[in-house]
Amino acid sequence: MPYLKKKQTVSRYLDPAVVSRLRNIDLKARLIVEGYIAGLHRSPYHGFSVEFAEYRQYMQGDSLRRIDWKVYGRTERAYVKVFEEETNLVANILLDKSGSMGFPTHDELVERRREDGRRGRTGSHAYIDKLTYGGMLAASLAYLMIRQQDAVGLALFDERIDTLIPHRSVRTQLHHVLRNLERVEPGAMTSISPTLHEMAERMKRRGLVVLISDLMDDPESLLEGLKHFRHRQHEVIVFHVLDPSEIELNYRDEVEFEDMETGRRVRLEPAFLREQYKGSVSAWIERLERGCRAHSIDYNLIRTDTPFDQALTAYLGKRLRLG
């Protein structure tokens, strides 16, 4: 079926490895969102508005309540009504561009591809760094939000706020956001908590705060920063972006690790430390997740080898709850 073929073609752009090969971030965002939407049984564009837009042929999965029975009576075909959304949601995307978000480095990615090629395997590693992944995720979300008539703002930060684009809902805002995302480069040390506090103070209108970060900071101060948003009546959704290697330490042989932010080096053999490392990381993640849940913050652990739909679904779920 041509539709299914098109759907499969577009859906492949949910794969970070595929999308990362594209240069134009506009295209990336659009393909991700459309690829995601093609996989949905119900369009996110249509459902939050009360203004009629068009009819569409009923598809399996659509609610029977939305069938226009009058049209059915006339044509004996099932059509559903499609409404255009009108919204006034304010969303601010906070993207961490600290040094640790630059992991894996370009050399590391090259090495991963070479290793997988040597072993005749593909997909055993993530082939995209966290900042790129986070950027594309931010772009996709921005694209989706603008398309939904929501106001979008963007903040890029490392140890301080580097770029701040105030929220707007016009289409040119998307272009503005995407240009900044396209130029983003890993910065200096991570210092999330002060940034969150500063943003919380700046954001006068309550809305949705989307934090995309590897959260490489002190969990307690980080949660304090998030709690500040909640105190200001903001809804918060956290996308905790991690590379699979950071979770599983899936390196072979002896490795000399160099801290990307401090430059400290240590020579270790991951095979002997993997279980201990995984335990520590799990405890850290669990600590963050528990802290977020305690403050009604949506926490989403996103591995850079997972398709973008997981994050978009999480966003849309949140959006749905916000009405």
Partner 1 sequence: MFGLGFLNGAFLAALVAGAIPILIHLLNRRRVRRVRFSSLEFLDASSQRRMRRVNIRRILILALRTLAVLLLALAFARPTLRGAFFLPGKAPRNVVICLDASGSMAADFREGTAFDRAREAARRIVNQAGNDDRINLVVFGRRAEEQIEGGTRNKQVMRTAIDNARDTAEVTSIGKAIAQALEFVAASDIPGGEIYVVSDFRNSIDSTQVSPKTLPRDVRLFYVAIGNEQIDNAGIDMVTVPRKLMRPGEVVRVKAMLTNHSRTAATGVAVALSVEGTRKAEKIVDIAPEATTTVTFPVSFTKWGTYRCAVTKNRDRLRVDDERYFTIEISRSVPVTLIRGARNAKSGEATAPGGYFYVEKALNPRDSGVGEFRVSIVDERDVTAASLPRRGVAVWVDPQKLAARRLAVLKRYVRRGGGLMVFLGGANHAMLQRRSVRAFLGIGGSAEIVDGAQSGYTSFREDHPVFRIFNREELQLLSRSRVRRYVRVSGVAPDSVLAYVADGDPAVWECARGRGRVLVFAAAPDLVRGDIPLSPMFLPLVHTSVSWLASAANEQANMEHLAGVPLVFDPPQAIASTDRLVIRDPQGEVLQPTVFETPTGETRVLCERPEHVGFYRLERDTTTVAEVAVNIDSRESDMTTHVPAGKNAAGTVVSTRGDFGANLREARQGREVFALFVFLAAMSLVAEVLLSRRA
23 CB-near residues (< 8 Å, 6+ apart): none
273 is a site residue for partner 1 (CB under 8 A) = yes
305 is a site residue for partner 1 (CB under 8 A) = no
Q: Parallel, antiparallel, or unpaired for β 151-157 and 90-96? A: parallel
Q: Least distance (Å) from partner 1 to the CB of residue 282?
A: 10
Q: Least distance (Å) from partner 1 to the CB of residue 202?
A: 28
Instruction: Choose, by CB under 8 A, the member of 235, 243, 298, 309 that binds partner 1.
Output: 243
275 is a site residue for partner 1 (CB under 8 A) = no
| 114 vs 171 by CB, closer to partner 1 | 114
257 is a site residue for partner 1 (CB under 8 A) = yes
Query: Which range in 86-94, 103-111, 195-203, 227-235 contacts partner 1 by CB under 8 A?
Result: 103-111
Q: Least distance (Å) from partner 1 to the CB of residue 148?
A: 33
Query: Which range in 98-106, 139-147, 150-158, 230-238 contacts partner 1 by CB under 8 A?
Result: 98-106
Q: Which of residues 281-300 bind partner 1 (CB under 8 A)?
A: 281, 284
Q: Least distance (Å) from partner 1 to the CB of residue 297?
A: 22
| 134 vs 153 by CB, closer to partner 1 | 134
Q: Taking Cα atoms as reference points, which of 130, 152, 75 lies closest to residue 243?
A: 130
Q: Least distance (Å) from partner 1 to the CB of residue 286?
A: 14
246 CB-near residues (< 8 Å, 6+ apart): 103, 214, 281
CA–CA distance, 33 with 140 (Å, rounded to integer): 6
Query: Which range in 44-52, 162-170, 232-240, 277-285 contacts partner 1 by CB under 8 A?
Result: 277-285
What are 239's strand-pairing partners? 212, 300
135 in Cβ contact with 181 (< 8 Å): yes
| 79 vs 133 by CB, closer to partner 1 | 133
Backbone angles phi, psi at 79, to 5 degrees: -125, 150
b or e along 66-92 (b: 16 or more beta carbons within 10 Å of the residue's beta carbon)? beeeeeeeeeeebbbebbebebebbbb
| 85 vs 246 by CB, closer to partner 1 | 246
What are 275's strand-pairing partners? none
Q: Least distance (Å) from partner 1 to the CB of residue 253?
A: 7
Instruction: Choose, by CB under 8 A, the member of 268, 285, 301, 322 that binds partner 1.
Output: 268
Helix (H) or strand (E) holding 185: none
Q: Least distance (Å) from partner 1 to the CB of residue 175?
A: 31
277 is a site residue for partner 1 (CB under 8 A) = yes
Structure tokens at 321: 């709850």
188 in Cβ contact with 99 (< 8 Å): yes
Q: What is the DSSP string of 98-153?
A: -GGGGPSPHHHHHHHHHHHHHHT--SSS--S-HHHHHHHHHHHHHHHHHHTT-EEE
Instruction: Choose, by CB under 8 A, the member of 26, 62, 68, 108 that binds partner 1.
Output: 108
CA dihedral over 155, 93, 87, 307, signed as positive or negative:
positive
Instruction: Choose, by CB under 8 A, the member of 8, 43, 63, 280 that binds partner 1.
Output: 280
Query: Which range in 48-56, 228-236, 259-267, 314-322 contacts partner 1 by CB under 8 A?
Result: 259-267
CA–CA distance, 163 with 154 (Å, rounded to integer): 8
255 is a site residue for partner 1 (CB under 8 A) = yes
Positions in the binding site for partner 1 (CB under 8 A): 100-101, 103, 105, 107-108, 111, 130, 214, 216, 243, 246, 251, 253-262, 264, 266-269, 272-273, 276-277, 280-281, 284
